[in-house]
Every structure is written in C-alpha cells, then in structure tokens.
Amino acid sequence: MAIIPSTLGEFGRIERFFRPLTRNFPGALELSDDAAVVSVPTGQELVVTTDAIVAGVHFLASDPARDIARKALRVNLSDLAAKGAHPLAYTLTLATGRELDDSWVEAFAAGLADDQLQYGIALAGGDSVSTAGPIWASITAFGLAEAGRMVRRSGARPGDVVLVTGTIGDAALGLAVAQGRLAVEDADKVTLLDRYRLPQPRTHLARAIAEYANAAIDISDGLAADFGHLCRASGASGSIAVPNIPLSSAARNVLAADGTRMSDILTGGDDYEVLLTASAQSASALQMAAAARGIALTEVGSITSAENTNSAGQTTFIDGAGRKMTIDRTGWTHS
C-alpha cells in the first residue's frame, strides 16, 4: 500500500476531525488541554469500561474505517448497556500507520460521529500514536448510574428468570463465514457478516436494565462462558433451555444444515447482547420496556441455589427433550 503522508499532521487531524466530536461535551475543553473534566451529578456514580480492538484480531485492516470506529465504540457501549449505565463520554487512543491518509482518519471520525448521535455519547479526550504494526483503537467509556445501583454480574438470585437480548450466535457464525470455515446462502452471509462486523449495543434498554435487572453481563466470551461468569459471581447455579435461545433465521438455516454448529452458537462469542436475570415480575416489566424500544428480549432459563460452594457457577443446558447437554470444543452431546 502506498504511503500517503498526512497533509494535516497530528494537530491538524485533531482539529479538523476529532474536535467536532466533543461539541456536546464541554468538559473535553475542545481537546485543547492535557486532560478533560468529567462532572458526576450528586447521587450518581461513573461506570467505567475499557476495551480495545486490534487489526487482524477484532477486525480486518481492510474493513471500512467507519466500521472500525463504530466497532471500537460499540463494544464499549455494550458494556455500559449491560451495567444499566447511561452513556456520557469516552476517550480514544488511535494507533495508525503511515499508510493511512487523512481521508481514512476522516472516515473513522465520521463513524464515531454517527454513533455518537445514535447512542448519545461524546468524545472527551484522546491520544494518537503511530505504529509500524497492526492498527488499533482503545476506548475507555464513561456512563452514569445511580450511586450503588450499577447492575453487577453478582446480583442473580435463586428464582430469577434469565433473559437475553437480540439473537445469539450470529457473530460467531459470521466469523466462521469470514474465515472460510462455513458456507451459507448469500443473504444469510450478509446478515452473519454484518453481525460479526458491527455489534448492536443495547443502550436503549439500559434504563430498564438499571431499574429491573438483578444481574447482567455483556455477552462477549459466548453465551455459555458468560452465563458461567454471571452464575459464579452470584454464587448461584443456572440453567438454560437451549430450544428457547433466540436465533436469527440465518442461524436457523445453518443449524438445519449442520446441528453441530450449536456449539459455535453457544460458545463463539462476540454477540454483544445482554444476558440478564430478574424476578418474574421484573422480567415482565423488562419485556414491556424492550418491546416498546423494538428490542427482542427472550426468556431462556432460570437461576437456582448453588447446592454447595463447589457448584456455584455451575450451568446446565437442557435440550428439547429435557436432557442435560454437555458442551466442549468438539461440539455438544447429550449427557
């Protein structure tokens, strides 16, 4: 790739492309100081999350700059949503190489601008560095929650219902398609690749999660692993009815052709949906809130008491015939 020197330089890029992203956040001081100021209203606290994406691992360097920017922001917004936090601001460190010209940076900033508008967040500050290696972006995002009310992984209670937003497994199948490990119809290919490329953070459900959920986690390591994290943190056990897991029609088509793909769906990761638990009554309120916002929210399981300390975090997956399933790297089997 040709090396096209920046005609703007670092300061020019900041002024032209990034300063406008601070417009709704006066504490950014227009990126003209060493630091930003973040005010937290009395009675609230800041929810802070940080996630980085690296070319070749989380995206391809050849992906559109606009999509890379949005993925970097959205994986963080997804964490805030799962914690029931209202997005406030973020800092960005962007590492680019000399092969990226000003128009690439302009498109990257345009992606951020679009998502800032969609999710109600603003740039507070940042750093730019150059790298001879893969490009990367690291974001630290700030949200607001009522003091002491951030929804944790550890709040699940026996008797809670387990719910998930959206559909599960599409991103993992999309990655398999991208890597040539899975062949699907063209229409499904578009759907699955899109789901891998661009998470849909459930920001608009954050308020209801804060109000009604006992526990929640952003599904990034895969439904099975993250459900385990949540149950372990809560000192509880849990079960999920596999037939109830919400699947896209593309994922259903994949499963119809090869049932062993259920393993990818349950363990593949990168869903960026929210797994949450709530009392049955609160679950109804959550369902209503989700429906009002056009977000699918599906009951998939329940939380039970851990029989003993060793079984805290134990999760069970049940098939349509009520049999326990065991999942490992080679697939899933009835145990």
Which positions lie near a copy of itself, rule CB under 8 A? Answer: 27, 29, 32-40, 42, 45-54, 56-58, 79-80, 82-83, 85, 91-93, 95, 124-127, 129-134, 136, 138, 140, 142-143, 145, 147, 150, 152-154, 217-218, 233
Question: Smallest gap, in angstroms, from Cβ of residue 76 to a copy of itself?
Answer: 9
Question: Smallest gap, in angstroms, from Cβ of residue 202 to a copy of itself?
Answer: 13
In the complex with a copy of itself, the residue whose CB is nearer, 144 or 254, is: 144
**Closest among 176, 165, 171 to 191, alpha carbons compared:** 171
In the complex with a copy of itself, the residue whose CB is nearer, 34 or 186, is: 34
Question: Smallest gap, in angstroms, from Cβ of residue 175 to a copy of itself?
Answer: 16
263 φ/ψ angles, rounded to the nearest 5 degrees: -60, -45
In the complex with a copy of itself, the residue whose CB is nearer, 52 or 312, is: 52
In the complex with a copy of itself, the residue whose CB is nearer, 253 or 314, is: 314
Determine if residue 169 is left, alpha or beta; phi over 0 gives left, psi from -120 to 50 gives alpha, anything else beta.
Answer: left
Question: Smallest gap, in angstroms, from Cβ of residue 118 to a copy of itself?
Answer: 20
At a CB cut-off of 8 Å and minimum separation 6, what does 9 contact? none
Instruction: Enter the tokens of residue 65.
Output: 């700059």
CA angle 163, 330, 314 (to 5 degrees): 40
In the complex with a copy of itself, the residue whose CB is nearer, 29 or 325, is: 29
Q: What is the distance between the alpha carbons of residues 298 and 51, in angstroms, rounded to a whole number?
A: 27
Type of residue found at 140: T
In the complex with a copy of itself, the residue whose CB is nearer, 130 or 249, is: 130
Question: Smallest gap, in angstroms, from Cβ of residue 34 to a copy of itself?
Answer: 4
**Closest among 146, 25, 126 to 84, alpha carbons compared:** 146
Handedness of CA 248, 178, 327, 226 (dihedral sign): negative
What b-and-e string marks burial along 159-190, b requiring 16 or more CB atoms within 10 Å of the CB? ebbbbbbbbbbbbbbbbbbeeeebebeeebbe
Question: Smallest gap, in angstroms, from Cβ of residue 277 to a copy of itself?
Answer: 14
